[in-house]
């Protein structure tokens, strides 16, 4: 787990459900650098961690809040057996999500860069066409070779890119565009980019209506987008062929929907909301919430993600805590009954959890 508020990684034993190690991560021990999201190599030997160079609360300047830092971030590789940091690659401001593409050959890293949007707006349109003006707000997507840590490609995709998911059948990545109410569809081979709106009445930068933040692709290729815009909270589902919203599957939520996971057969989607902290178990065919679990009694504050264990027997819930004093936690629920089976306090402001296969030394 990445603890973005105290620059550590927590290692949890999935069997005993206890924290077995907590190690520092970052380039400068004297500064908070905000490790943000992570991925693991298929063989379990290497972790890939985003260093956002943003910190959680009341920050400005180089280490601003999420999306507002002015210092470039990094991608760091870590030996999963020893915790030793192996290599660093400089990326851009405010790296967001980080995911390995199917097969694990390349790392995809988005950038939730709100500073560029503010800079472009301050400069004004000038002699640019409106399309050129908007294009200057686009944030980068960086693709890195997982073995060599060499950059494969860098694409300007859309304003405030964040959540990443993959459609293996269509060989494309799906990335949310928080400030243009779109998702970007990126071809895994050609890196061609196509953008589609998450709803028929989108806003425009810098005033989005839906603010898509997290995304998941179900086994049929449908794109499930967590819309976090005020007054439009909920899940929006896009058809992979037409690129249009499927209104019958639209699910409004009381809280802010964030990250979720599908069962391998696609029969359920588990996603968390904040304020209130809930776990929703969703039937994707009906577009209905089958169960809604209150996470607060388990000790979860500010739920961030629901991640399935590899055997799909458990759901792991990442809870941020209060970002300042109260540690975050990981909660474990039995997937069949949705009853709590474990609670572990970790570091400050955890924001991601990934299963690491056992790597032989």
Pairing of strands 278-283, 234-238: unpaired
The pLDDT of residue 61 is above 50: no
The pLDDT of residue 227 is above 60: yes
pLDDT band at 298 (very low <50, low <70, confident <90, very high): very high
pLDDT value at residue 57? 55
Q: How many residues does the chain have?
A: 361
pTM for the whole structure: 0.95
CATH number of 2-352: 2.130.10.10
Q: Pull the structure tokens for residue 141.
A: 């997507």
Segment (H or E) for 144: strand 139-145
pLDDT 10s digits, 138-151: 999 999 999 999 99
**What does the angle CA 89 – CA 13 – CA 301 come to, to the nearest 5 degrees?**
80
* DSSP-based three-state secondary structure for 342: strand
pLDDT value at residue 64? 43
| HEC readout, 205-254 | CCECCCCEEEEEECCCCCEEEEECCCCCCEEEEECCCCCCECHHHCEECC
How many CB atoms sit inside 10 A of residue 43's CB? 13
pLDDT band at 210 (very low <50, low <70, confident <90, very high): very high
The domain segmentation of the chain, as residue ranges, is 2-352
* DSSP-based three-state secondary structure for 320: coil
Q: Taking residues 81-94, report their average pLDDT.
A: 95
By the 8 A CB rule, do 175 and 138 touch? no
Q: Taking residues 104-125, report their average pLDDT.
A: 95
* DSSP-based three-state secondary structure for 170: coil
How many CB atoms sit inside 10 A of residue 18's CB? 11
Cα–Cα distance for residue pair 252/289, rounded to 1 Å: 10
By the 8 A CB rule, do 193 and 182 touch? no
Sign for the CA dihedral angle at 23, 25, 27, 33 comes to negative
């Amino acid at each position: 787990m990445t603890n973005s508020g105290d620059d550590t990684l927590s290692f949890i034993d999935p069997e005993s459900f206890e924290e077995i190690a907590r190690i520092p991560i970052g380039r400068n021990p004297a500064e908070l650098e905000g490790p943000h999201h992570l991925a693991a190599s298929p063989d379990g030997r290497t972790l890939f961690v985003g260093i956002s160079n943003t910190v959680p609360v009341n920050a400005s300047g180089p280490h601003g809040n999420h999306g507002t830092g002015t210092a470039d971030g990094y991608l760091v590789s870590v030996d999963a057996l020893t915790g030793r940091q192996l290599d660093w690659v400089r990326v851009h401001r405010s790296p967001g999500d980080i995911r390995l593409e199917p097969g694990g050959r390349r790392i995809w890293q988005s950038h939730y860069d709100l500073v560029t949007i503010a800079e472009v707006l301050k400069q004004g349109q000038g002699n640019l066409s409106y399309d050129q003006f908007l294009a200057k707000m686009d944030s980068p997507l960086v693709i890195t070779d997982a073995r060599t840590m060499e950059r494969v490609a860098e694409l300007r995709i859309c304003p405030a890119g964040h959540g990443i998911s993959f459609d293996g059948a269509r060989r494309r990545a799906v990335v949310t565009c928080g400030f243009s109410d779109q998702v970007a569809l990126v071809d895994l081979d050609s890196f061609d980019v196509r953008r589609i709106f998450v709803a028929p009445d989108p806003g425009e930068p810098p005033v989005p209506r839906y603010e898509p933040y997290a995304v998941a692709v179900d086994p049929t290729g449908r794109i499930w987008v967590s819309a976090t815009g005020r007054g439009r909270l909920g899940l929006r589902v896009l058809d992979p062929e037409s690129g249009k919203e499927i209104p019958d599957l639209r699910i409004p939520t009381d809280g802010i929907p964030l990250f979720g996971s599908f069962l391998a057969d696609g029969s359920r989607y588990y996603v968390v909301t904040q304020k209130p902290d809930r776990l929703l178990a969703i039937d994707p065919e009906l577009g209905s919430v089958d169960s809604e679990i209150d996470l607060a009694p388990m000790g979860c504050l500010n739920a961030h993600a629901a991640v399935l264990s590899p055997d799909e027997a458990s759901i792991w819930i990442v809870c941020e805590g209060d970002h300042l004093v109260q540690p975050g936690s990981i909660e474990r629920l039995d997937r069949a009954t949705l009853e709590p089976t474990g609670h572990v306090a970790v570091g400050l402001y955890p924001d991601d959890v990934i299963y690491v296969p056992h790597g032989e030394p």
